[in-house]
Amino acid sequence: MATDPSQSATVSSGPRASSGPSASSGPGQDLRLEDIPGYSRLPCNQCLFWTSPCGCRKGDRCVFCHHAVAQEQAHLSNRRPRKNQRDQMKSFIKELVEHLNAEQEPQEVAEK
């Protein structure tokens, strides 16, 4: 999902949102990203602790993003897959390459 930073987007100020002094408009009201100090463009640099069960202990002092946009981007994270999943992918690719090589060998012999 590519987002144009020049477009005006809004975020919902939830109970865990730390948006500094300009968030005094009240809970449940929309804020423009341009009004949030230190929030320059999308995609934001999200706080990894904010989405954890314990939350971020730094709160408003945290330099990372705590906004709803960060929650939407959480699934786009570039985290490394677990070892079991990496091993499964490696074995699948190995089998696929072997299968493709086995299919190509008879064609090469027939062409000669």
Contact between 91 and 33 (Cβ < 8 Å): no
pTM, two decimal places: 0.31
pLDDT in tens, 80-94: 789 999 999 999 999
Confidence (pLDDT) at 62: 86
Q: Tell me what the pLDDT averaged over the chain comes to.
A: 67
> What does each C-alpha distance from 22 to 48, 79, 108 come to in angstroms?
23, 32, 69
**Percent of the residues in the chain that have a pLDDT greater than 90, as a whole number:** 15
pLDDT in tens, 13-35: 333 344 443 444 445 556 565 56
